Copies of this chain bind each other. A is one copy, B any other.
Amino acid sequence: MRAPPQHRPLRPGVLAERFHAVRNATRALAAPLSAEDCAIQSMPDASPVKWHLAHTTWFFETFILGRHEPQRAPFHPTFKYLFNSYYNAIGDRHPRPYRGLLSRPALAEVLAYRDHVEARILALLAEGALPADLLSLVELGLHHEQQHQELILTDLKHLLSCNPLRPAYQKTWPLTPVKARARSWVRFAEGARQVGHEGEGFAFDNESPRHTVWVNEFEIASHPVTHGDFARFIEDSGYRRPDLWLAAGWDQVVARGWEAPLYWERAGDSWQTFTLRGMVPIEPNTPVCHITFYEAEAFARWAGARLPTEAEWEVAAADAPREGNFVESGALHPLAMREAPPEGAIAQIFGDVWEWTRSDYAPYPRFRTAPGAVGEYNGKFMANQYVLRGGSCATPASHIRATYRNFFPADARWQFSGLRLARDA
């Protein structure tokens, strides 16, 4: 994960403040949880919260302390193996499906590990001891940690959903219903456009280089598809009509018996859904979430529309303010729009739900990975995944931007993933 050449590292003082803030934010997410909540893995795709707490620390210990002070003893000799996620260049690693078998180290020991590494990084930053390339890696480590903050919430949500007791992560529910707003369409003209990251701010390597794409005239919806929209799709036999689905998607519908998005359950004539605040009735005007690429694609076909490409999405989002319902709102669930946006405006394009695009996750023209282990950060996953854009209600606000490329396999549903419609003009 090479920072692009234009990227200027943050000053150590600013970086130290941000380090402090991001690391504390992670710990705050885990604060309401018991050691048991943090230890269990509910499926191979998800990781225990304890593992996230340790792995994000391992990142700093390995890439900063391990390079700057290679003679220094690690906090624990086995952690290099236990908490390596997927870096072949670092060495062997504990297999992903077994992350939930580790009752030791105890949560308390992992928190001590965090303390230990944090103290040393902060000391090095205070001393101004780190060279520019390691400062860049510290900054990368913070963005990396923010990604895991989101995963802590989505992985935990999945775990709690497996428990017949239906436990809530947070009990109070601050949301109030709002009125529906009709979908409107915003048009964009044909032409050569520039997409991708450029400039001084941080971005991941997969957002670069900025380059030209040809975009046809298109229209994009003013706001995401809602829970209410999706309930109508279901009532119209959306999950029983193969003509609406990609063949690979229909195979999944049949094999797994899908009848609604993940976490939805029938409650008489209506639907309820599992949230980080327990089971609640669906709120029709909030963006729908926990759907696969296949469900997004089938819904769009049913609605007479299509998914946007990631270039279209980025063109549409380029001028939108980077505001929205992020993790800092405390909602931990998509929210309805409180007031109508101005005519012709794109609303809710950041936050609330990740929006599936029709684009597979592929390298941008002239994309190159960095040499060494950090080169494994993004590039090697560019196959059989689709791009999602815009961040969600579990994403930290400072983590997102218009060029940000998230990616998941077409059948992943446990993220806060939704969609926004597009159509040919």
A-side residues, CB < 8 A to B, are 34-40, 42, 78, 81-82, 86, 88-89, 94, 98, 100-107, 159-160, 162-165, 167, 192, 211-214, 216, 242-243, 245-250, 293-294, 297, 306, 358-360, 362-363, 365-366, 375-376, 380-384, 410, 424
Contact = CB atoms under 8 A, between A and B. Distances in A.
Given A214-B212, A365-B424, A380-B245, A102 B163 contact: yes
A410 to B, nearest CB: 6
Q: Which 5 A-B pairs have the closest CB atoms?
A: A360-B360, A36-B103, A88-B242, A214-B214, A37-B103
B37 A159 contact: no
A404 to B, nearest CB: 20
Nearest to A158: B101
A160 to B, nearest CB: 8
B247 A381 contact: yes
A106 B36 contact: yes
B164 A365 contact: no
24 contacts: A36-B39, A36-B107, A37-B103, A39-B39, A39-B103, A40-B40, A40-B101, A42-B101, A78-B164, A88-B243, A89-B243, A94-B164, A101-B159, A101-B163, A103-B167, A192-B192, A246-B381, A247-B381, A247-B383, A294-B383, A297-B383, A358-B362, A366-B424, A384-B410
A101 to B, nearest CB: 4
Given A36-B106, A39-B36, A383 B242 contact: no
Given A247-B380, A424-B366, A34 B106 contact: yes
Given A35-B34, A213-B214, A243-B89, A98 B162 contact: yes
A414 B54 CA distance: 30
A214 to B, nearest CB: 4
B365 A362 contact: no
Contacts of A38: 36
Among A246, A249, A359, the one with the most B-chain Cβ atoms within 10 Å of its Cβ is: A246
A209 to B, nearest CB: 10
Contacts of A306: 363
Given A103-B159, A246-B381, 5 more contacts: A34-B103, A37-B103, A82-B165, A103-B163, A360-B362
B365 A216 contact: yes
A100 B41 CA distance: 9
A160 B103 CA distance: 8
B382 A40 contact: no
